Amino acid sequence: MSTTTTQAKPRRALPPLMQLTDAAAQRLATLYAGAEAGKLLRIAVSTKGCSGMSYEMSWVESPTPQDEIVTSHNLTLLVDRKASLFLIGTTMDYKIDKLTAGFTFENPNEKGRCGCGESFHV
């Protein structure tokens, strides 16, 4: 009688769900210390736009059971659990251009964006 054992392949580590750039962390810390003190930023993905999905950001008082808690640069933000599969490995940045300023997302899961840049698909 022969016994064969196979070892399970080691699992590849997942990238962080979401991380902040230095610029995004600085802007978020300013917001947390000012007008949005006591609140948390929640990131979600909704169905809309030409390409099908859009990032949504909202201020909330506290996490819910549907939120993943993400810490980056010693700051806490929330990710809607339904969006986490679409956001794994995403980096949130804060950019200032001549006419606009705001948070942007570099999402390795995106396969394309609409022409206006408001929505994406995976």
Which domains does the chain carry? 18-115 (2.60.300.12)
| pTM for the whole structure | 0.77
For the chain, how far is it from start to end, CA to CA, in angstroms? 50
What does the alpha-carbon distance between residue 11 and residue 93 come to, in Å, rounded to a whole number? 29
H or E element: which one contains 95?
strand 90-96
Mean per-residue pLDDT for 32-45?
A: 94
What does the alpha-carbon distance between residue 49 and residue 34 come to, in Å, rounded to a whole number? 32
Q: pLDDT tens for residues 59-102? A: 999 999 999 999 999 999 999 999 888 888 999 999 999 998 99
Four-point Cα dihedral 31, 18, 77, 84, nearest 10 = 130
Structure token digits, residue 115: 């022409």
Q: Which residues pair with 103 in a beta bridge?
A: 94
